[in-house]
A and B are shown apart, each in its own frame.
Chain A
Amino acid sequence: MKLSEVKEILDAEVLVGEHNLDREVYLACGSDLMSDVLAFVKDKVLLLTGLVNPQVIRTAEMMDIKAIVFVRGKKPSEEILKLAEEKDMIILTTKYPLYISCGLLYSKGLTGQESKQEGGHET
């Protein structure tokens, strides 16, 4: 799914990387636990989280995650956005909560489901 579609489905605002919305994500991972995210190694993953601190960007960096959606209208600080920009990431923010955001993307085809064990999950 293209990030421009993600933006539309979640009625999201783009905070970083407006010009890169043609990039694709294949899977999604919704979690507030970064250790859990770090156990989830896949390519082209979209991270949805309600956690807002610089370690979200760091975690994404280690995982090669290039796109993050902050849910429930959360907006990261300038410092966090700057770090994301340096790492060539796309940052979106949506007013929907985590569960609804994941549900909307899932129902539109971003299932994140390769196997029951390793697919997109929610914490």
Chain B
Amino acid sequence: MKLNFEVDGDEFILAGEASSQVKKILKQLGVSSEIIRRIAIAMYEAEINMVIHANGGKIEVEITPKKVYIVLKDTGPGIPDIDLAMQEGYSTASEEVRELGFGAGMGLPNMKKYSDDLKITSEVGKGTTVEITVYI
């Protein structure tokens, strides 16, 4: 099964809608709640990042009986130093984003924690692609 989502970068209120839909579909497919929660959290963190840093983007989700593979692509500013961005507590989020409860520098560490495989490719000025794999 393949799902595609467009994430609007201007609507912080709507951020998480795609993750919410994927969660619902996985539940209907009978995937265990522990696995669903890991997928939902990793995807939600990535979706939020897409909204707060890159003005939205596109998400493709592939669901097979063995795994869920999520690709989030944006054309935002890119990440200059991925190793640094992976460190807990490191964040470049604005004060506005912090007031909304995010930007604590836990987004990428949380994605890594909850996915079986996390791949981030990024080019400054061109954008970032995040690939999340969780085995069912």
Contact = CB atoms under 8 A, between A and B. Distances in A.
Given A34-B102, A35-B101, A35-B102, A55 B107 contact: no
Interface string A44-63: 00000101011110110111
Contacts of B100: 34, 51, 53, 55
A5 interface: no
B interface majority secondary structure: helix
Given A38-B110, A39-B113, A64 B37 contact: yes
Nearest to A57: B16
Contact of B23 (A49, A56, A61): A61
Interface in A53-79: 53-56, 58-59, 61-64, 79
Contact of B101 (A33, A39, A62, A63): A33
A58 B20 CA distance: 8
A53 B48 CA distance: 14
Interface in A1-43: 32-36, 38-39, 41
Interface in B48-97: 48
Interface of B: 12-13, 15-16, 19-20, 23, 33, 37-38, 40-41, 44-45, 48, 100-107, 109-110, 113-114
Interface of A: 32-36, 38-39, 41, 49, 51, 53-56, 58-59, 61-64, 79
Given A62-B19, A63-B41, 16 more contacts: A32-B101, A33-B102, A34-B102, A35-B45, A38-B106, A38-B110, A41-B38, A41-B114, A49-B101, A55-B12, A58-B16, A58-B19, A62-B23, A62-B40, A62-B41, A64-B33
